[in-house]
Amino acid sequence: MVLVSIVPFRPRRILFLAAAFSALSIATCFADSLLVTAKKTPYDHQMARIQPVLNTPTSLHHSVLPLPLVNQWIGELRAIPYSYSMEWKTPKEIAHAPTADCKGKAVALYQRMREMVRIICVW
């Protein structure tokens, strides 16, 4: 026969567990101040090629692109055969290359969408 004794928690243990739980839940709100900002990353060299596309000035007016048009662009980019590239390709390189990867296709789509928004906003 095995006897099991359940010893009730002492009030100190309960207080300690409650304090630890509340301290841990409060500590997550200070996570932003604990993060370290980096001046450079290993990807900076790769991203330098597409920075002009990503840093194009934005217009203050927001417009809605027609979804069928965006779907057409996605279909055109998906039709380009896939080939992995270590470096990011510019949209101009994607337009003239026989193959492209997801990174290049995404940047090309981004550029098309930004250009169309600029055209719509001018109207």
Q: Give the separation between CA 19 and CA 116, rounded to whole angstroms.
A: 56
Amino acid at 40: K
pLDDT tens digits, one per residue of 21-33: 777 777 666 555 5
Q: Could you tell me the pTM of the whole model?
A: 0.64
Distance separating alpha carbons of residues 75 and 14, to the nearest angstrom: 61
Q: pLDDT digits over 50-64, tens only? A: 999 988 877 666 678
The domain limits of the chain are: 44-122
CA distance from start to end of the chain? 88
